[in-house]
Structure 1
């Protein structure tokens, strides 16, 4: 990891916190929102014969969480490269 002369720690941590908050909001909406709060509205739609609210609570949230992990890693790598603190 290099330590460039023009590194701005406040800008780096601001971008990192923004990404973290975005990730947590998506996680909350998918887990608590789709699986519990919006379940009744989602149950009017079906996937493979199962109500969508049930699907999100049982399967969909897992798929979205795995995708969220890869998305977070890719975005974090981009932030690291933008601030020149990435690992080669």
Structure 2
């Protein structure tokens, strides 16, 4: 088990030309395994609870200047949901 310290501060945050903070997110999913160990057709989707108690959501967070969009999405999935992702960009 490894300890992860979330990034803090807003000095590296990306903003668009209208001053809105840019965020990234992901929809974590996997195909459910069958009883015989093969991969089935059923899809499982991971959602997390909001710290502010506003229901269930997908992992997301700020996109920083020193990372690509893929790096930011991977970091957010680890920080917010505790999982390592294999990303597929669509």
What TM-score do the two structures reach when normalised by structure 2?
0.23
Structure whose alpha-carbon radius of gyration is higher: 1
Structure with the larger helix share:
1
What TM-score do the two structures reach when normalised by structure 1?
0.24
Structure with the larger strand share:
2
